[in-house]
Amino acid sequence: MPLTVYKVLSLACYGTLIDRDAGIATALRPLLATGRLTLTREEVLAAFGRHESEVLADRPVGPYAALLAETHRRLARDWGVICSEDDHRLFARSVGDWPVYPDVPGALQYLRRFFRLVVLSNADHESVAASRRRLDGRFEAVFTPEDVGSYKPDRRNFEFLIARLERLGATAGNTLHVAASVPHDLTPAAAVGLGTAWVDRGRQSTAAAADGAGSGCDYVFYSTADLVKAHQEQLRA
């Protein structure tokens, strides 16, 4: 379906608008320094991802800040680093400092002119609020696990979104879910009837791939700027 037909863009935040990996890697530097650890960025992020998944499996509900603090606690234990509870909480509060992808502010400014923008995030409202200040985030709505009672990729998060689209004059059929994670966002979004656009930030390209073949998505872009470019081209056509 052409981008110009959609009325609402539902956006994942961390990894899509906010550079989650860069934020986490930076926020973990004090832990690495305390432990005098010489791990690569990839090793640090892999360890974080493994522990975060375990914490999420153990605690499928609860504030994202608590999930981050527990992940930091388990990392410290795994790496043999002695930390205080304040250290764990400080890491959890780092979300507001995670950087915005350079392409995002201009893209959001453009997209607001043509779509109603909502955020569907696994973070809590406090964390998203901190990030919204960096995004100049004027969104119609923000939905988090605090509202739903589950974390993505649980289908309930996307069903919750669809149930509230009516208030925005939209349906699943004219809403495009935009995210960087296929398994956490785009696969369950497609399963409930949402359009899907993959922001594949692992690729270094300035060209938009208008055909999402191979990913199972309706669209594939390499940045939000590519999404804007594709929309502009469709408007001209």
Average pLDDT over residues 189-194: 96
**Quick one: 28 and 86 in the same domain?**
yes
Claim to verify: residue 116 and residue 63 sit in the same structural domain: no
Please check whether residues 201 and 141 belong to one and the same domain: yes
CATH of the domain at 11: 3.40.50.1000
- 115 and 58 inside one domain: no
Q: Which of 131, 180, 122, 119 has the alpha carbon at shortest distance from 149? A: 122
Q: Does residue 114 share a domain with residue 89? A: no
Percent of the chain exceeding pLDDT 70 equals 93
pLDDT over 70 at 211, yes or no = no
CA atoms within 13 A on the CB side of 134: 19
Percentage of residues in the chain having pLDDT higher than 90: 79
More confident of the two residues 227 and 203: 227
Domain count within the chain: 2
Per-residue tokens: 80: 């043999």
Span 100-140, pLDDT tens digits: 999 999 999 999 999 999 999 999 999 999 898 888 768 99
Q: Which residues contact 166 (CB under 8 A, 6 or more apart)?
A: none
Out of 97, 122, 144, a domain closes at: 97
Residue 66 and residue 125 in one domain? no
Would you place residue 198 in the very low, low, confident or very high pLDDT band (cuts 50, 70, 90)?
Answer: very high
Query: Do 61 and 164 have their domain in common?
Result: no
**Which of 69, 97, 125 is a domain's end point?**
97
At 56 the pLDDT is 85
- Are the C-beta atoms of 71 and 92 separated by less than 8 Å? no
Confidence band of 209 (pLDDT split at 50, 70, 90): very low
Q: Give the confidence band of 206 by pLDDT, cuts at 50, 70, 90.
A: very low
Q: Residue 41 belongs to what domain range?
A: 21-97
pLDDT tops 80 at residue 212 = no
What's the whole-model pTM score? 0.89
Return the structure tokens found at 58.
Answer: 């153990």
Instruction: Say how far apart CA 32 and CA 233 lie, in whole Å.
Output: 46
Predicted confidence at residue 168, as pLDDT, reads: 84
* pLDDT reported for residue 215: 65
User: How far, CA to CA in Å, does 167 sit from each of 12, 140, 146, 148?
Assistant: 20, 10, 19, 17
CATH code for position 82:
1.10.150.750
Same domain, 110 and 184: yes
Confidence of residue 213 (pLDDT cuts 50, 70, 90): very low
Exposure of 75 by Cβ count < 10 A (0-12 exposed, 13-18 middle, 19+ buried)?
Answer: buried
| pLDDT tens for each residue of 62-87 | 788 899 999 999 999 999 999 999 99
Is 112 in the same domain as 185? yes
Sheet-wide strand order for 195-199 = 141-143, 116-120, 8-11, 175-179, 195-199, 219-221
Return the amino acid letter for 236.
Answer: R
Instruction: Verify that 31 and 86 share a domain, yes or no.
Output: yes
Domain end, chosen from 97, 125, 157, is at 97
pLDDT band, very low/low/confident/very high, at 143 (cuts 50, 70, 90): very high
Q: Is the peptide bond before 145 cis (omega within 30 degrees of 0)?
A: no
Are 83 and 189 within one domain? Answer: no
Residue 207: which pLDDT band, with cuts at 50, 70 and 90? very low
Query: Do 40 and 115 share a structural domain?
Result: no
pLDDT tens digit sequence for 169-186: 899 999 999 999 999 999
